[in-house]
Structure 1
């Protein structure tokens, strides 16, 4: 009886092995089956010319910290423009660096941390005061331009990125300098070189 029982058990085990369902397909197999079932094709006419797609260019505008880190006269000019909410256009930067040169020269543009000899907030009404650093000087220069009605034509010129001659004439006619830069006779239009200020000025 035992022998017969063992034989029956063996047959049952074999039967179970034979009728066991197959393993379910893996995710990879399911994905392959889906792609095969839903495959699409596109017919392209012969002789169709290809086209070149151009993408818009990307650019970055310098911010307050990056301009301060640059530390040059051109950086300071851009910083004032930024604080005053004027465009950082070529004409605006050109006028500003020329203006700085007329006030302190290029080699010492950072003199007293007051590149434009601005009296606003510097403790010197005649423009001979100083600031703790060039960043504060830039903020005060921007405030001065917006704070005096006599500078309205200068502000309008910078806001519209007007031609350099127009903005410069507004500066000469304004009360910024009592000499009025001799109505432009004491004003140079030469290119202003880039000069970095000493450590500790920013």
Structure 2
């Protein structure tokens, strides 16, 4: 029996040593796990599980009003006065009358001014449209202290009922021809501009008035 035990010892001892080495080697080779952030893990778990914070507000809490500033770009009268041309004066009349500054409106106004005083001397007597209202002269032969004043009185006169069709054409602002026809039919000029026969529609050149005509 003793020889058998000796044989077993010789067999088991190497196996035990090998097993012990394997265990130690496993701990040495296997990477260590990174520390777990418990708080982070809990928050992730809560999010995944749908445990989301719910904030409730009473129904009688009013939402504060938001203030949104609005800005409107407008052509100022002083800007037009500083421009000083026949086109600026035409726009000035439209501004004083509250009519839109459309291409059609500006076109018919400068055409009208050309028919009254000619393109090169449109500022004659500071009365481009030979307007009688406020000028101190009958039949449109009066004058104004400045072209700015003349524009104001021209707009005021065109708002009289006798010129309602002209004002309506300017208010629409889409057709220079329609407004011109209203001018021809009106009592503004005794000649009625030949009901269009004496009305030129070619482009009107840009002509600047002397600074003195603007009161400068």
- TM-score normalised over the length of structure 2: 0.65
Give the distance between the partners of 2:209 and 2:200, measured in 1 at CA: 21
Give the distance between the partners of 2:158 and 2:130, measured in 1 at CA: 13
Q: Give the alignment partner of residue 107 of structure 1, picking from 105, 108, 120.
A: 120
Structure whose residues are more often helix by fraction: 2
Give the distance between the partners of 1:194 and 1:68, measured in 2 at CA: 15
Quick check: 1:65 aligned with 2:68? Answer: no
Name the residue aligned to 1:194: 206
Correspondences of 1:1-202 after superposition (within 5 Å): 60-147=73-160, 149-202=161-214
Tell me the alpha carbon deviations over residues 93-142 of structure 1, each in whole angstroms, 9 at most, x when there is no partner.
Answer: 00000000000001000000000000001011200100000000000001
Q: CA RMSD in A?
A: 1.3
Unaligned segments of structure 2, at least 5 residues: 1-70
* Runs of 4+ with deviation above 4 angstroms: none
- Tell me the secondary structure at the aligned position of residue 138 of structure 2: coil
- Tell me the secondary structure at the aligned position of residue 211 of structure 2: coil
Unaligned segments of structure 1, at least 5 residues: 1-57
Give the distance between the partners of 2:199 and 2:193, measured in 1 at CA: 6
Name the residue aligned to 1:46: none
Name the residue aligned to 1:14: none
Name the residue aligned to 2:67: none
- TM-score normalised over the length of structure 1: 0.69
- Tell me the secondary structure at the aligned position of residue 200 of structure 1: helix
